[in-house]
Structure 1
Amino acid sequence: MDVIELLPRLHLLRFAVGQAYLWCDGDELTLVDAGPAGSGRVIADAVTALGHSPGAVRRVVLTHFHEDHAGGAAEFAALSGAEVLAHSADAAVLRREAPAPPPVLRDWERPLHAAALRLLPEGDFERPSQVSELSEGDVLAFGGGAHVLHVPGHTDGSIALHLPDQGVLFTGDTIAASPVDGSVVPGVFNLDGSRVLAALHRLAALDTRTACFGHGSPVTENASDVLREAADRSGAMR
């Protein structure tokens, strides 16, 4: 796992598939997503290397239920005592109270999806013992107030987190940066591509300096302009 400082209070944790983000408010930390299964100890070691106890991480906010983002949550929560949070629709999947709907793959996505799965641990992942539910409009106590935005499309319970005071946006897999040329694009492997495009337009309307994606390099300057350009391009493709 690579650990990259994006801002003095924000680090990117990059895994073989997907990535997570660590936000620091003094002696209280927040983890956004938790990597694939087996990542809990690796994340705890990274937190320690940055000068904090794993117990300083008060919450793990999951942008959606997919294994490359939620797979490490149970292990890390057991190590740190952190609360695990997810939107109510995806919390039900994480608790195995609802089935995990598979993505509706376009033909060109199928080989990419298969390649990503080969990089992930086989089998199901351990589920957190408790998952607190989030809803549209909730405000979490980090980063001066992190606003929960329900952006279904990638999954039914996908969320983004907007920190208006910091100009930071965590998009989950609703938006990505292309591994080919770094261009910002709608996420792939979705349940409903039209809803993802609508969510992209919604997120592009926010005042954002730093945009943190579930896959691909974040945008660390003038993110609003970059997201609006991506929304304009995607609108033209519909």
Structure 2
Amino acid sequence: MPARIDHTITSGTFSLDGQTHQVDNNVWVLGDDTECVVIDAPHDTGAIQKLVADRQVRAILATHAHDDHVRAAPELAKALNAPVWLHPDDLVLWHMTHPQHVPDAALADDQQINIADTTLQVLHTPGHAPGAVCLHVPELGAVFTGDTLFAGGPGATGRSYSDSDVIISSISTRLLTLPEHTTVHPGHGDTTTIRTEKPNIDEWKKHSS
């Protein structure tokens, strides 16, 4: 049974550095009718459980640990009996939201995760957050970019634990080197493609230099 990508949007808040904003977050589920992984766990466990339906969830994969991406993770993990995986460089952010919990497993650069006869490759892409990762699925021509790359350019870097030079390096070396037809599924907003975003990143570099 071929793997597919399912999607929903949940709404809530993002808080860091004493500021709080209303945000809409994408939730992506990769799998087939039997098993899947959930990519990010923002805001609303009920909406995510509805998207998963009766499939076995092999893991909840956090693209990074800002509170709007992991706030529901422990509750969702308990409800689905699924482990939460996070890159260890983001534990400092994770513990701001969940001081009494720890993720169940660590994501690592170039790690391979098999699900529903397809494979996710973990790409460590720091900049928006120190442990930010993207998840590349070559067989589906897709990459899940969290808040590293959006339609229109890079993720924000004006907050604690972020770095504009580092995010541009991550995008340039780990994402723009993917096949140009690759569909970009971000943590917020619309999907795009690597081909579409290359000139946007070039333009961003000109204005930031």
TM-score by length of 1: 0.72
Q: Distance in 2 between matches of 1:215 and 1:127?
A: 27
Aligned to 1:116: none
Q: Is the 8 A contact 1:205 1:228 kept in 2?
A: no
Counterpart amino acid of 1:204? L
In angstroms, what is the RMSD of aligned CA positions?
Answer: 2.2
Q: Distance in 2 between matches of 1:128 and 1:213?
A: 26
Q: Is the 8 A contact 1:41 1:75 kept in 2?
A: no
Q: Distance in 2 between matches of 1:128 and 1:214?
A: 23
Counterpart amino acid of 2:112? V
Aligned to 2:16: none
Aligned to 2:155: 187
Offset of residue 169 of structure 1: 0.3
Q: Number of matched residues?
A: 189
Aligned to 1:118: none
Any idea what SS the aligned residue of 2:171 has?
helix
Offset of residue 211 of structure 1: 0.6
The answer on 1:213 being equivalent to 2:208 is no
Counterpart amino acid of 1:43? I
The answer on 1:132 being equivalent to 2:105 is yes
Q: Deviations over 1:103-143 (max 9, x none)?
A: xxxxxxxxxxxxxxxxxxxxx45865542011111111126
Which residues of structure 1 form unaligned runs of 5+? 1-7, 101-123, 178-183
Any idea what SS the aligned residue of 2:106 has?
strand
Any idea what SS the aligned residue of 1:140 has?
strand
Q: Distance in 1 between matches of 2:157 and 2:194?
A: 24
Q: Is the 8 A contact 2:84 2:105 kept in 1?
A: yes
* Structure richer in strand, relative to its length: 2
Q: Distance in 1 between matches of 2:100 and 2:198?
A: 36
Q: Deviations over 1:129-177 (max 9, x none)?
A: 5420111111111262111111111111000111112111011101123
Counterpart amino acid of 2:5? L
- Assess, with a 3 A threshold, how the Cα gap between structure 1 residues 127 and 209 changes in structure 2: closer, same or farther: farther
- Assess, with a 3 A threshold, how the Cα gap between structure 1 residues 215 and 145 changes in structure 2: closer, same or farther: same
TM-score by length of 2: 0.82
Any idea what SS the aligned residue of 1:23 has?
strand
Q: Distance in 1 between matches of 2:99 and 2:37?
A: 21
Offset of residue 47 of structure 1: 2.3
Identity %: 27
Offset of residue 237 of structure 1: 1.9
Any idea what SS the aligned residue of 2:185 has?
strand
Counterpart amino acid of 1:187? G
Offset of residue 229 of structure 1: 1.9
Q: Distance in 2 between matches of 1:175 and 1:27?
A: 30
Of the three residues 28, 35, 39, the one matched with 1:32 is 39
The answer on 1:160 being equivalent to 2:165 is no
The answer on 1:22 being equivalent to 2:40 is no
Aligned 1:34-113 pairs, distance under 5 A: 34-36=41-43, 39-48=44-53, 52-53=54-55, 56-91=56-91, 93-94=93-94, 96=95
Shift >4 Å, 4+ stretches: 124-129
Which residues of structure 2 form unaligned runs of 5+? 12-22
